[in-house]
Amino acid sequence: MKSLFPSQLPNQIILVMGEHAASNWMWELSAWLALQGNLRVLDAGNRFNAYPVAQAIRRQHQNPRVVLERIRLSRAFTCYQVDVLLEEWQPLPYPTLVFDLLSTFYDENVNLPESQRLLRQVIWRLQQLSKIAPVVVSTRLPATICAERMVLYDMLKAQVGELRLETELTPEDRAPLPAQLPLLPAFDTSTPT
């Protein structure tokens, strides 16, 4: 798992772009960060899946429940909720992960100028948080039915410290699973019968 991430995340906004908002990579990152300490997650696109996170933790830690307790998350379903949640969050010395940040801003029910206004505010709030701890934000490009919202992605990209492009994880990227211990006493198959 360590090979996937830098040993120390910088105190800045790191934007991760990928299909499905690079969710697989973000789950692995959540697990890796939680193994080291507390972590805050804002799930803005219903992307956080606790099961693969738990599985990733289990590979490294004998008590995944303890580690899962270190992850505190809130889900937001509208861009207004994203803004309000970030406003409520005090700057803390923990990393912050935001899953699929732009998902709610791509919502056609909110007009584009309003989405832009809110996103400006949200980026500012993320910048404040990133002054004392790393902030990793995942996103994806807008679907064609809202292609005009590409401007939101450009706004975000212009304000981040680092941009990563993530492709889906392949099984080879993952740490190898420990071999299943034999349930029965071993026997030598080479013994002639």
Partner 1 sequence: MQEINGWLLDVFENTQAAGAVVWVLSDKGERLRLYQPLPIRFYVAGPAVHLREVWRYLKDHPSAPRLSRDQKRDLFQTDPVDLLAVEVASLSDQQRLFRQLLDQFPTLTYYDADLSIAVRHAAKYQTFPLCRCRVKFYESYLIQELEVLDTRWDLDPQLPQLRILHLEPDCDPAHAAPLALCAQMNGQSSRFSLQPVRPLLINLQALLKRLDPDLILTRWGDTWLLPYLFELMEKHQFELALNREPGRKYMQRPERSYFSYGQIIYSGQQIHLFGRWHIDQKNATFWGDLGLDGIFEMARVTAQPVQVAARTSPGTGISTMQVLTALEHNILVPWHKQQGERPKTALELIESDLGGLVYQPIVGLHRDVGAIDFISMYPAIMVRSNISPETAKPRLLEVSAEPQGLIPLTLEPLLEKRVALKHRMSSLPRWDPRRKLDAERSGAHKWLLVTCFGYLGYKNARFGRIESHEAVTAGGREALMRAKEASEDFGFHVLHMYVDGLWVKQEGYTQPADFAPLLDEVVTRTGLAISLDGVYRWVAFLPSRVNERVPVPNRYFGVFQDGSLKVRGLEARRRDSAPWVARMQMQLLEYLAQAESVDELPDYLPGALAILRQHLANLRKGRVPLTDLLVALRLTREPQEYTVKTAGARAGQQLQTIGKSIRPGQRVRLLYMHGGEVQAWDMPHTVDPRRVDRARYYELAVRAASSVFWPMGIPEADLRAWLQGGIQLAFDFAMPAGKRHILLPPREEEKAWERLFTPRVNEALLVKLNRNVLVG
Shortest approach of partner 1 to residue 50 CB, angstroms?
Answer: 5
Look at phi and psi of residue 125 and say left if phi exceeds 0, alpha if psi is from -120 to 50, else beta.
alpha
7 is an interface residue for partner 1 by CB under 8 A? no
Is residue 141 packed enough to be buried (19+ CB in 10 Å), middle (13-18) or exposed (0-12)? middle
What are the beta bridge partners of residue 44? Answer: none
How many residues bind to partner 1 according to rule CB under 8 A? Answer: 36
**Measured between alpha carbons, how far is residue 35 from residues 47, 66, 99, 117, 135 in Å?**
20, 9, 19, 36, 17
Tokens describing residue 70: 């270190």
144 is an interface residue for partner 1 by CB under 8 A? yes
141 is an interface residue for partner 1 by CB under 8 A? no
71 is an interface residue for partner 1 by CB under 8 A? yes
Tokens describing residue 164: 């990563």
Binding mask 11-40 for partner 1 (x = CB under 8 A): -------------------x---x------
Residue selected from 32, 48, 99, 153 as contacting partner 1 according to rule CB under 8 A: 48
Amino acid letter, residue 144? T
Closest to partner 1 by CB, 88 or 172: 88
Shortest approach of partner 1 to residue 75 CB, angstroms?
Answer: 5
**Measured between alpha carbons, how far is residue 7 from residues 3, 107, 114 in Å?**
9, 36, 38
Stretch that binds partner 1, among 6-14, 65-73, 92-100, 175-183 (CB under 8 A): 65-73
Residues that bind partner 1 (CB under 8 A): 30, 34, 41, 48, 50-51, 53-54, 65, 68-78, 80-82, 84-85, 88, 104, 107-110, 114, 117, 143-145
